[in-house]
Amino acid sequence: MPAKSKLDNIINIINDDKVSLKMYFITRHLKNGINKTAKMIDRFTFQANSIDTSSELNDFFIKTAKKQLEKAKSTDGYHLEEYSVITDDLNNKLYTYALNNALSFSDVITNQLLPGKTKTIDSLKSVKNNLWAYCLKLEGNSNTAFLFRKSSSGKIATDEAQTKLEKISSFFDLNDAELKITANETISFDDKLDCIYFNNEFLILRKAAFEQIVGLEEEFIQSAKDVISIIKDADLVVGIEQIENNLNTSRSLLKTLSSIGKKGNHTGFDKNELDKMKNVLKRFEGIELKTNPEGKLILENPNDAAYFIKLLNDYYKQGVITGKFYGTNSGQPIQAKP
């Protein structure tokens, strides 16, 4: 089904005269018995917390959701693409992602939101410390959709001191044009959506935010470490720490290594592949890969590491029609039809 048709399904729900909206705050919690610094994926559980909202706020969410979906539909060349870790940096794509790939986050939908088994809260204090995202459940035209937006505890202000310099919440009183302090609990919203769950799949409007919401960042870290571990086992690289030391600071490196892991490019790394890498880099960059007398690759600095990661990810590609060569980290393996 084309991307615009999928968005039309959600817009049809919004356009129902009897459309209803229910709001949930999604909180994230470390699983029992798991240390905060544990090196593993799926460390967290998620909890959906329902809260009553006014008709004015419901109207705001419904109108802004429709506006954003209509804006996406109006994008030239808007098309559907299955989610992958690294893709071409274009804004005309609606990504899809299967629910069963969403680690612990899938529990929020299958066991909480869909059956209506959620906690009810009456104060923002209940979710302040663990707020992760918020969800809007839309029901109309006999269909249900869940709209998600990444959020955080920083969006909430209560009457409790949050730091030594207590944060102050305020509002602008239009009656006397004066900015005043409010003692009420407040949370800020915007007019954006990150992803939608409908008909057993996620529709992704903002890729980076979606990755955070469902916990893919944790998966990236583990996948990257698995790739490095296999490269170490090959015993053909000296200075692998040039890559390891940047895992916590470079999200692009993390995602590239994760992409390498998903494609399995690292599993065949041997002396033969290293020789191919030397030839490719010399051909396209005019640079010699550094090796020691034993024939092992030497990574002396971040530049060496960057070239090695490019080579491992098949960065240099050739078009089958024109025969032209391209440099890109995106792309998924495909099989030619017989």
Does position 91 have pLDDT exceeding 80, yes or no?
A: no
Ordered DSSP codes for 152-171: -GGGEE-SS--SSS----EE
Distance CA 137, CA 23 (A): 6
Instruction: Give the tens place of pLDDT for each residue, 217-232.
Output: 777 888 888 999 999 9
pLDDT in the model for residue 161: 47
Between 52 and 161, residue with greater pLDDT:
52
Distance CA 97, CA 115 (A): 21
Confidence of residue 166 (pLDDT cuts 50, 70, 90): very low
Confidence of residue 182 (pLDDT cuts 50, 70, 90): low
Stretch 130-149: mean pLDDT: 95
Between 263 and 231, residue with greater pLDDT:
231
User: Whole-number mean pLDDT of the chain?
Assistant: 85
Does position 179 have pLDDT exceeding 80, yes or no?
A: no
- Name the one residue in this structure whose structure tokens are 């890969």: 289
pLDDT in the model for residue 136: 96
Does position 258 have pLDDT exceeding 90, yes or no?
A: no
Strands 93-98 and 170-173: unpaired
Cα dihedral 202, 105, 210, 251 in deg (nearest 10): -140
Stretch 284-288: mean pLDDT: 92
Stretch 28-37: mean pLDDT: 79
Residues comprising the chain, all counted: 338
User: At 271, which amino acid appears?
Assistant: K
In sequence order, the 6+-apart residues with CB closer than 8 A to the CB of 258 are: 85, 219, 220, 223, 224, 227
Distance CA 157, CA 154 (A): 8
Given a contact cutoff of 8 angstroms between Cβ atoms, the answer to whether 13 and 31 are in contact is: no
Does position 165 have pLDDT exceeding 50, yes or no?
A: no
Cα dihedral 71, 77, 83, 88 in deg (nearest 10): -110
Confidence of residue 286 (pLDDT cuts 50, 70, 90): very high
